[in-house]
């Protein structure tokens, strides 16, 4: 009788930034299908999601893929529910209003490979700083690119798991990297980002390195922070054929800056300063090919006759993609087009 290892993954209740949790369930003769993943429970009092006197929280499987790093393994992304089956307050996925999967999302996930011994990014000396930014973006060579073996392993594992990873690159700061995930459907995009984050964290364990998701881990220095740019479209954006339509949708974001910043990741004021390819946190702007704007209109969208997508550059690297997508969808649906 074959036995499968199902790694149930969920988000805890820590604030302001949730963390990944997981545990393994053994199933005999498992089919590999999501519908055959049973509900499970965990001790919510240990994850800031329940009180000790009534600690059961439920895990509802919502996404499954093979686990390439384990024999007969699967990765099962879960929503957290209260004991009565209602969505837990920490459950950002349940807030997404995209039942028909009309919204497509592509997230650009930046992060730092972090050395716990020096408490600095990989590639940084124990004291001081490496050479200033410039040679590290999309870099090649041992003096500029740090941790490629880890990043390549992560890419292979994501592909083997069936995640729709679309690329990787070294980023602007030393020890900083990025991967991109695209999916048709906001919830699916969020599921895949979280599973990809989980895989990267687990690979980091093997190498004795942490993954630093903080948006500005080097503080008030001249080093870039980390973002999770959200590329998005719906049928209207994909078929608009009109600059006016794009203007209306972009302008619908202007009155709700605070509502977006509230779910775009903690400490974003350290990153959204108006420098390092960002707009100030309290300002809103949009522009064609403008990486200093809140929302960038890709040049490809214009060249296709105003048929394409938009990029919200404000979400930071530690943001919950579920909550980011939910807020973007809500705003776009208010646009009178």
Higher pLDDT, residue 67 or 126: 67
- Give the model confidence (pLDDT) of 19-34 as tens digits: 999 999 999 999 999 9
Mean pLDDT, residues 158-163:
98
Domain that residue 174 falls in: 104-332
- Give the model confidence (pLDDT) of 28-61 as tens digits: 999 999 999 999 999 999 999 999 788 999 999 9
Specify the long-range contacts of residues 200-204, CB closer than 8 Å, at least 24 apart. 200/111, 200/154, 201/20, 202/69, 203/150, 203/153, 203/154, 203/157, 204/113, 204/150
164 shares a domain with 312? yes
pLDDT at 1: 63
18 shares a domain with 126? no
57 shares a domain with 200? no
Note the pTM of the prediction, 2 decimals. 0.97
Q: Is 126 left (phi over 0), alpha (psi -120 to 50) or beta?
A: alpha
Q: Looking at the domain assignment, is residue 99 inside a domain?
A: no
pLDDT at 276 over 80: no
- Give the model confidence (pLDDT) of 103-117 as tens digits: 999 999 999 999 999
Vertex 329, ends 228 and 94: CA angle to 5°?
A: 85
167 shares a domain with 80? no
149 shares a domain with 78? no
47's enclosing H/E stretch is none
What confidence tier does 127 reach under pLDDT thresholds 50, 70, 90? confident
pLDDT at 222: 86
146 shares a domain with 291? yes
Higher pLDDT, residue 53 or 228: 228
Cβ count within 10 A of residue 14: 13
Q: Looking at the domain assignment, is residue 150 inside a domain?
A: yes
What confidence tier does 126 reach under pLDDT thresholds 50, 70, 90? confident
Give the CATH number, domain containing residue 61: 3.10.20.70
pLDDT at 220: 80
pLDDT at 219: 86
Average pLDDT over the chain reads 96
**Residue 87 burial (10 A CB sphere; 0-12, 13-18, 19+):** middle
Q: How far apart are CA 308 and CA 313, in angstroms?
A: 16
Provide the 3-class DSSP secondary structure of residue 281: coil
pLDDT at 71 over 80: yes
211 shares a domain with 83? no
152 shares a domain with 54? no
Mean pLDDT, residues 85-101:
97
Give the CATH number, domain containing residue 260: 3.30.590.10
Domain count within the chain:
2
121 shares a domain with 71? no
Mean pLDDT, residues 91-102:
96
| C-beta of residue 221 within 8 angstroms of C-beta of residue 132 | no
Mean pLDDT, residues 303-326:
98
Provide the 3-class DSSP secondary structure of residue 207: helix
Q: Looking at the domain assignment, is residue 196 inside a domain?
A: yes
What confidence tier does 275 reach under pLDDT thresholds 50, 70, 90? confident
pLDDT at 337: 85
Q: Looking at the domain assignment, is residue 58 inside a domain?
A: yes
Domain end: 53, 69, 91, which one?
91
pLDDT at 221: 84
Cβ burial 191-228 (10 Å sphere, 16+ → b, else e): bbbbbbbbbbbbbbeeeebbbbbbbbbbeeeebbbbbb
pLDDT at 52: 79
149 shares a domain with 36? no
212 shares a domain with 81? no
- Give Cα 196 distance to the centre of its chain: 9
51 shares a domain with 75? yes
């Amino acid at each position: 009788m074959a036995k499968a290892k199902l790694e149930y993954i969920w988000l805890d209740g820590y604030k302001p930034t949730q963390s990944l949790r997981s545990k393994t369930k053994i199933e005999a003769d498992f089919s590999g299908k999501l519908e055959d993943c049973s509900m499970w429970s965990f001790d919510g009092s240990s994850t800031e999601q329940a009180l000790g006197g009534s600690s059961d929280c439920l895990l509802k499987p919502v996404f499954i893929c093979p686990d390439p790093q384990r024999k007969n393994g699967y990765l099962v992304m879960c929503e957290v529910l209260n004991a009565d089956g209602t969505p837990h307050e920490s459950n950002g996925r349940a807030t997404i209003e995209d039942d028909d999967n009309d919204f497509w999302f592509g997230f650009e996930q930046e992060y730092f490979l972090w050395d716990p011994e020096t408490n600095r990014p990989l590639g940084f000396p124990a004291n001081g700083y490496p050479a200033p930014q410039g040679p590290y973006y999309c870099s090649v060579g041992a003096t500029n690119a740090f941790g490629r073996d880890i990043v390549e392993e992560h890419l292979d594992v994501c592909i083997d798991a069936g995640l729709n990873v679309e690329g990787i690159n070294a980023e602007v700061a030393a020890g900083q990297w990025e991967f991109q995930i695209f999916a048709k459907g906001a919830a699916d995009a969020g599921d895949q980002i979280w599973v990809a984050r989980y895989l990267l964290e687990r690979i980091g364990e093997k190498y004795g390195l942490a993954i630093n998701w903080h948006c500005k881990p080097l503080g008030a220095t001249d080093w870039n922070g980390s973002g999770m740019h959200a590329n998005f479209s719906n049928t209207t954006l994909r078929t608009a054929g009109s600059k006016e339509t794009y203007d209306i949708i972009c302008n619908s974001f202007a009155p709700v800056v605070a509502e977006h910043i509230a779910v775009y990741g903690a400490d974003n004021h350290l990153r959204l300063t108006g420098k390092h390819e960002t707009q100030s946190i309290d300002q809103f702007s949009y522009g064609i090919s403008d990486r200093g704007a809140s929302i960038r209109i890709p040049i490809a969208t214009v060249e296709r006759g105003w048929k394409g997508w938009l990029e919200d550059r404000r979400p930071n690297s530690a943001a919950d993609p579920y909550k980011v997508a939910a807020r973007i969808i809500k705003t776009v649906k208010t646009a009178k087009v």
